[in-house]
With several copies, the nearest count.
Chain A
């Protein structure tokens, strides 16, 4: 019998009222990273981050959350790795629906994230990647739960906040996954227009559903494109504008992550992060240098090698150079 804490309660009727009030006008929503975070992300709220791990993540938005000193945030951790690492460095978060955090996959575990978890500074409820993706889907569909065949029989199940149900047609035992409507969804995309219509190239992970599930959505985009271009190929719109509250244009906004077709991950810098986390003191110095000590994300990019570094990572992404050339340990 699952006994994990349900960090966000499914409330389809309350969400219906919320979505009814959400503006549907085509009004320009372009703003700065600073203003977007100041206006739309508040202490204590529950966040969900698009992309996957180090891939297509909204790094610029996450840095700004740390820079503005948000506290007491909740997080949906469906393979949140560098994103979790950034928020844990704050530390901005105090509770997590966790499927996969802490690790940066093959790169190792994040010491500061471990300190948070093992120091008892986080409330954790266990889930799986699919469970969290389906929980967004349930919210996007406007239903309070979805059935699934995962987690059953394990401690992951016991420490989740799922419930067991029986299929009324087959009698099958199923997991019921409660709809998850984050307060804020943060998503980095390839292209957006000023109203928030978005395109993503490559895998979309869970972002189509996340954008529909969240109360508020902040989009950072590699580039703005004309609204007419959206209308020229409506098949490619993965997020419609009325889901979106703010749009910021941040070229390189996923750095040091991998933005498909744009630039590869900066493995050296990710390694520098991990090493800086060894002690709270080295982490502090690192954050001072890269986040608190710069005005904005452009300042961070400059300290990381600026345009020439991004150009190099673009060559790696396009496989114009051998990836061993300084890109991995």
Chain B
């Protein structure tokens, strides 16, 4: 039996959602690793883009920055930030990945600050960057994140990027494009989706050796549970081999487990 760490598992799970011929705007780290892995497996035609302008590179290595020269190495275009964001705004981008310090049951994300909203913040994080834009404009938002009670919170200290806001219809009412929103959240414990009717987060598969109580214990809000609750398919030997040898040979990401 193959052994793997949580980060490897999360990346492999994420990669499987990226189908051939889809478009995805990624940042650095795990999302980029997932996209690169998907390209080497089932999705050679996955179009990877970066918010600073890189479009369809033949990624030679993992970028350090979403604007570094790897992000358009042998790309089909070295464009601009508005070019990428306008691609998203007119509906051409299927997926994006976000990170953050906090997430709530509707998939809203905080990457701005911890503490009360009045300035100065107790802890200041980088802020939205392009996260709010991508969460607003791409069709499906995914998240790869460690999960615990501090991160899965009942109420965000600051809502940087929109999930389903406060529930069904709220995105559309706010003016965000219809049919968009959070899609999957992948943690070290489980894969989550969002309930169609309530737009609340729900457990969709449990990682090997994890039980539902453990998942709920690591969330600060009540999780919905899918009717079927399979075990998350662990990484195959092929997935792991490609991830370790070709995607992240220096273990920049998978070494952070």
A contacts B directly in the complex (CB < 8 Å)? yes
Q: Please give, as numbers and ranges, the residues of chain B lying within 8 Å of A114 by CB-CB distance.
A: 123-124
In whole angstroms, what is the CA distance A18 to B177 when docked? 14
- Is B168 in contact with chain A by the CB < 8 A criterion? no
A51–B161 CB distance below 8 A: no
Residues facing A in B75-91 (CB within 8 A) are 75-82, 85-86, 88-91
Q: Please give, as numbers and ranges, the residues of chain B lying within 8 Å of A265 by CB-CB distance.
A: 64-65, 68
Closest residue of chain B to A27 (Cβ to Cβ) is B45
CB distance from A130 to the nearest CB of B (A): 4
B65–A105 CB distance below 8 A: yes
A129–B124 CB distance below 8 A: no
In whole angstroms, what is the CA distance A98 to B171 when docked? 23
- Is B165 in contact with chain A by the CB < 8 A criterion? yes
Q: Please give, as numbers and ranges, the residues of chain B lying within 8 Å of A134 by CB-CB distance.
A: 82, 85
Instruction: Number of B interface residues at 8 Å Cβ cutoff, please give it.
Output: 81
Q: Please give, as numbers and ranges, the residues of chain A lying within 8 Å of B209 by CB-CB distance.
A: none
Residues facing A in B147-200 (CB within 8 A) are 156, 158-162, 165, 170-171, 174-179
CB contact between A117 and one of B51, B124, B133, B176 (< 8 Å): that residue: B124
What mask results when residues 86 to 110 of chain A are scored 1 for a CB within 8 Å of chain B, else 0? 0000000000001111110111010
Interface residues on A, range: 35 or more
Task: Identify the interface centre among A15, A151, A153, A201: most chain B CB within 10 Å of its CB.
Answer: A153
Closest residue of chain A to B170 (Cβ to Cβ) is A153
Residues facing B in A245-293 (CB within 8 A) are 258, 260-261, 264-265, 267
Given A172-B175, A204-B53, are A24 and B127 also a contact pair (CB < 8 Å)?
A: no
B125–A109 CB distance below 8 A: yes
- Is A237 in contact with chain B by the CB < 8 A criterion? yes
B79–A203 CB distance below 8 A: yes
Residues facing B in A126-150 (CB within 8 A) are 126-131, 133-134, 137, 139-143, 148-150
B171–A153 CB distance below 8 A: yes
CB distance from B48 to the nearest CB of A (A): 11
B65–A101 CB distance below 8 A: no
A152–B174 CB distance below 8 A: yes
CB distance from B168 to the nearest CB of A (A): 13
In whole angstroms, what is the CA distance A261 to B44 when docked? 26
In whole angstroms, what is the CA distance A91 to B192 when docked? 43
Residues facing B in A2-53 (CB within 8 A) are 12-13, 15-20, 22-26, 51-53
B81–A153 CB distance below 8 A: no
A53–B67 CB distance below 8 A: yes
A231–B76 CB distance below 8 A: yes
Given A52-B67, A231-B58, A264-B69, are A129 and B129 also a contact pair (CB < 8 Å)?
A: yes
Residues on B lying within 8 angstroms of A by beta carbon are 20-23, 27-29, 45, 47, 51-56, 58, 60-61, 64-69, 71-72, 74-82, 85-86, 88-92, 94, 108, 112, 117, 119-133, 136-137, 139, 156, 158-162, 165, 170-171, 174-179, 250, 252
Residues on A lying within 8 angstroms of B by beta carbon are 12-13, 15-20, 22-26, 51-56, 77-79, 81, 98-103, 105-107, 109, 114, 117-121, 124, 126-131, 133-134, 137, 139-143, 148-156, 159, 164, 172-175, 195, 197, 201-206, 208-209, 212, 230-232, 234-235, 237, 240-242, 258, 260-261, 264-265, 267, 317, 319, 323-324, 328
Task: List 16 other contacts, CB 8 Å, given A24-B22, A130-B85, A209-B82.
Answer: A15-B91, A79-B67, A99-B128, A105-B65, A106-B64, A107-B64, A118-B120, A118-B124, A119-B120, A130-B82, A153-B162, A154-B161, A197-B77, A205-B80, A232-B74, A234-B74
Q: List 13 A-B contacts (CB under 8 A).
A: A13-B177, A79-B129, A121-B120, A130-B82, A140-B90, A142-B90, A152-B162, A153-B176, A154-B108, A156-B160, A240-B55, A265-B65, A265-B68
